[in-house]
Structure 1
Amino acid sequence: MKPLALATAACLLAAVAVAHAASSVMLTGTIGSRAILIVNGAPPKTVAVGESFQGVKLVSLQAEQAVVELEGKRVNLRMDTPVSIGGGGGSGGGGNRIVLSPDSRGHYMTQGAINGRAVTFMLDTGATSIALSAADAERIGLDYSKGQRIQMNTANGVSQGYKLRVQSVRVGDVEVYDIDAVVSQQPMPFVLLGNSFINRFSMRRDADQMVLEKRY
């Protein structure tokens, strides 16, 4: 094979490797010295220390924490907390399918972004719109003070909130634009991925996974 052809083939192989790299990894359980990992929303996989799955290598495991390695980068995982560690993060957001797997509590958690800033989402079909705390809004640079003031019913009673629209919301390689959101003055452990986002998709359950197909 000619040098140019070899170089082209090498570039293509590198591109394929990047395309298949993990974008989201979650430690969802342990069995003895083996970790149960969910990679890119795929079904849970039991992995031993030193083994790899979809490009993710389990380096160490202790109690409810693990260290994994991808493309030479090591990342700490905590139980039931999804982490984005590579792959699809740099793509153009042109995907149209999201697959979510439940954590050990049955919640559908995923890493994502609002206006390009990283957040942790929990899928919530009971939420009218995307909902986040004022602390999260400030952390990602969202100026909610210019939004419409509203009263929000919470578990702790009625509280002050703000309604606004965010420029973009992204999960994996799927991105949607101009989405309703509310900011609550009450603390919230996660950002709720509510119906202002969900309604852009058709949603179905496949075994224990939740599959969202983009409609527009």
Structure 2
Amino acid sequence: MGSKAMLMINGGEPQAVAIGQSLDGVKLIAIQGDQAIVEVGGKKRPLRIGQHAVGANLGDGSGRVSLTADARGHFVTTGQVNGTSLSFMVDTGATSIAIGASDARRIGLDTSRGEQGTVSTANGRTTVTRLKLDTVRVGDITLYNVDAVVMGHDMQPALLGMSFLNRMEMQRDGGTMTLKKRF
């Protein structure tokens, strides 16, 4: 869009942001081809089409992340899997992180090295590939060797399930959820 980029910040509605403009702690620095360069928490990072920017959720060095519920009451955030940005929804009912097929390809996950299986979801039984993610980062929290499943179909957002959340202290206060790394 010329000197503007459409950004979704903290799970909100897409908004046109001009170069140099800040919105909810995210400043648009530049537009280069199919990516926008944003500054969040003093750190510059590229965002490609379809990725989400995060304001306060990048953390402050405390090992904590505070998430705010969206209008539907869901806690949605942007994190990284193996260094690639990915939108997550917190799901305490999901045994592990669940990633859609197209996101898995975009991240570069090698499903041929995973274990095929079947899982029960809210939508019925489906085929998945179980594998380990090298790194999962949400804010200042980075976990290594995290169990995940790649769904046989696309889904948005990915589910931040218990393979990540079990390693956190979780505290909810109304529309805010705070995650703190336990180990």
Distance in 2 (alpha carbons) for counterparts of 1:156 and 1:27: 23
Q: Which runs of 5+ in 1 are unaligned?
A: 1-23, 30-63, 76-83
Question: Aligned partners of 2:129 and 2:28: how far apart in 1?
Answer: 42
The verdict on how the C-alpha distance between 1:88 and 1:109 changes in structure 2, with shifts beyond 3 A counting, is farther
Cα distance, 1:27 vs structure 2? 6.8
SS of the equivalent of 2:125 reads strand
Structure possessing the higher radius of gyration over alpha carbons: 1
Partner of 2:29: 73
Structure 1 equivalent of residue 10 of structure 2: 26
Identity of aligned residues (%): 44
Contact conserved, 2:28 with 2:39, CA < 8 A, in 1?
no
Cα contact 1:94–1:175 (8 A) shared by 2: no
State how far apart, in whole Å, the 2-side matches of 1:137 and 1:173 are. 23
Supply the RMSD in Å over aligned alpha carbons. 2.7
Q: TM-score, normalised by structure 2?
A: 0.72
- The structure showing larger relative contact order (alpha-carbon pairs under 8 Å, at least 6 residues apart) is 2
Q: Is the 8 A contact 1:27 1:66 kept in 2?
A: no
Matched residue pairs, number?
A: 150
Return the structure number with greater helix share: 1
How far apart, CA to CA, are the structure 1 residues paired with 2:82 and 2:103?
12
**1:86 counterpart residue number:** 40
Look up the SS of the partner of 1:138 in the other structure: helix
Report the 3-state secondary structure (helix = DSSP H, G, I; strand = E; otherwise coil) of the residue aligned with 1:139. helix
8 Å Cα contact 1:89-1:173 kept in structure 2: no
TM-score by length of 1: 0.61
SS at match of 1:26: coil
Equivalent residues in 2 for 1:132-151, closer than 5 Å:
132-151=99-118
Quick one: which amino acid aligns to residue 90 of structure 2? L
